[in-house]
Chain A
């Protein structure tokens, strides 16, 4: 379970997130929605501390992962990122073979045995529903795949280090509708084993796949609850305005 307590984030002197409080359930899909620049991606990237890489970022408050604050000195950030995997907006496979893309993470974490790697590669690719499409060309460059295949490859790559949580940052915004629906089906099947947090611009997508939805606006989390309720009976006027398309 991820618990966020009174979290604020600044880029330099401008505050991007205001006092976020949230309890993200395990083995479910949580969607983060809101207009561009509302802070939902920033929030997502805080969960595996990818914001550390941006100079001038300051964070207060707590993000508890398995009851430990991820910003505390007890946390090894590389280990945290192994447990909280990430899939990016633009498919970004490494310019290497499909096999090496998947094996990259496990190798980084010290797995050298060929048989073990073979096993992980197959399991991860199967897990991301792309094994049948690439089993005959594992040695081919991953950049030769279509955009949708590349994105599923990236999901497989994230699965290969056996994370507990998967962060997805608008994973389908660069994809066609068919590839999008494949990713959505995949996300739904993955929630049996993983906690998934997905940022999406597409409200239908949130309705289709998520169990919980959080609505962000101008750096604040306005409303958080069951997806069904958020989209049928939102409590806040601003949420209602957004989901009915009055702005955003």
Chain B
């Protein structure tokens, strides 16, 4: 009887291990595949020409494969989304975690959850039909599909990640810290910003990095509002992101063009890896605090 139980335990352990390894295996497979398929084009084009070339003409008779426009667009787009999304998300989180009355908190938290659940194609659709024409009229442009529109959409899309993670971090600040501050005569708002926020800073940093990861990896919504032209980025110009560069040409690409798309994916992958490493750093620190 005892043996049978032990055998059962061993089998269950094995099953869980295999299930866990599926994740690890997938990550490994994707990593290896991306590296193998991404390197040939970089070799042929030359890493300098590839990363710092400003011309992307993949279908010309004499093609050029410079992805600097995509890299810069992704970087600027993400930075813009962070500049707008982080203050809004952070202050919302402080409000939800510390100030909001229970009813409002439930309402806003529910809305944040819904915002997180909206598929990105819907963001793109609404952006396309409402935001793009709005931007065109507001700034008196020939076309509203540009980097600015993409930044606005991304800023809204990263709000849920920033808010949820920041709220969790702020709520886990021990109440004793806040009591001590209040007992010294500090007002509640002073207490939140001078004690609670500093005590939760690692968690809030993690929230920001998570938002950055979300923004840089987004393809569907931005392809619909950014114009998708391989220009060097500027705020009111149609632009193409790293993600959208791959998505928009993959279906008809061949030869070196296709290989170059894999190389773009590899670059994007490295960006994400870097962001994940940063995120882990902050999460680890916030646990140690």
* Residue of A79, A81, A96, A109 touching B182 (CB-CB under 8 A): A81
Within 8 A of A (CB), among B167-182: 174, 176-177, 179-182
| Nearest-CB residue, chain A, relative to B190 | A108
A161-B185 CB under 8 A given contacts A94-B195, A95-B289, A104-B194? yes
* Residue of B176, B179, B184 touching A157 (CB-CB under 8 A): B184
Stretch of A57-65, A85-93, A176-184, A212-220 contacting B (4+ beta carbons < 8 Å) = A85-93
Nearest-Cβ distance from residue A109 to partner chain B, whole angstroms:
7
In whole angstroms, what is the CA distance A3 to B185 when docked?
A: 21
Q: What 0/1 pattern do residues 103 to 142 of A give for CB contact below 8 A with B?
A: 0110011000000000000000000000000000000000
Q: Does A82 contact B (CB under 8 A)?
A: yes
Nearest-Cβ distance from residue B5 to partner chain A, whole angstroms:
44
CB contacts (< 8 Å) of A154 on chain B: these are 180
Q: Are B177 and A81 in contact (CB under 8 A)?
A: no
In whole angstroms, what is the CA distance A48 to B194 when docked?
A: 21
CB contacts (< 8 Å) of A204 on chain B: these are none
CB contacts (< 8 Å) of A95 on chain B: these are 177, 198-199, 289
Q: Does A74 contact B (CB under 8 A)?
A: no
A82-B199 CB under 8 A given contacts A92-B174, A104-B194, A108-B190? no
Q: Are B198 and A81 in contact (CB under 8 A)?
A: no
Nearest-Cβ distance from residue B207 to partner chain A, whole angstroms:
18
A109-B180 CB under 8 A given contacts A92-B174, A95-B289, A104-B194? no
Nearest-Cβ distance from residue A159 to partner chain B, whole angstroms:
11
How many interface residues does A have (CB within 8 Å)? 25
| Nearest-CB residue, chain B, relative to A160 | B184
* Residue of A79, A85, A88, A161 touching B179 (CB-CB under 8 A): A88
Q: Are B177 and A92 in contact (CB under 8 A)?
A: yes
Q: Are B182 and A53 in contact (CB under 8 A)?
A: yes
| Nearest-CB residue, chain A, relative to B178 | A53
CB contacts (< 8 Å) of B137 on chain A: these are none
Task: Name the residue in A50, A81, A109 with the highest tally of chain B Cβ atoms < 10 Å from its Cβ.
Answer: A81
| Nearest-CB residue, chain B, relative to A108 | B186
Nearest-Cβ distance from residue B24 to partner chain A, whole angstroms:
35
Q: Does B138 contact A (CB under 8 A)?
A: no
CB contacts (< 8 Å) of B184 on chain A: these are 81-82, 85, 104-105, 108, 157-158, 161
Within 8 A of A (CB), among B118-159: none
| Nearest-CB residue, chain A, relative to B187 | A78
Q: Are B194 and A88 in contact (CB under 8 A)?
A: no
Q: Are A86 and B190 in contact (CB under 8 A)?
A: no
CB contacts (< 8 Å) of A90 on chain B: these are 176
| Nearest-CB residue, chain B, relative to A78 | B185
Q: What 0/1 pattern do residues 145 to 183 of A give for CB contact below 8 A with B?
A: 000000000100110010000000000000000000000
Can you spell out 28 A-B residue pairs with CB atoms less than 8 angstroms apart?
A: A50-B182, A53-B182, A78-B187, A81-B182, A81-B184, A81-B185, A85-B183, A85-B184, A88-B183, A92-B176, A92-B180, A93-B180, A94-B181, A94-B195, A95-B198, A95-B199, A95-B289, A104-B184, A104-B186, A108-B181, A108-B184, A108-B186, A108-B190, A109-B185, A154-B180, A157-B184, A158-B184, A161-B185
Which 10 A-B pairs rank lowest in CB-CB distance, beginning with the nearest? A82-B185, A92-B176, A86-B183, A105-B184, A81-B185, A108-B186, A78-B185, A92-B180, A95-B199, A81-B183
17 more A-B residue pairs beyond the given contacts A80-B185, A92-B176, A94-B177, with a C-beta to C-beta distance below 8 A: A48-B183, A50-B182, A53-B179, A53-B182, A81-B183, A81-B184, A81-B185, A92-B180, A104-B184, A104-B186, A104-B194, A105-B184, A105-B185, A108-B190, A109-B185, A157-B180, A158-B183
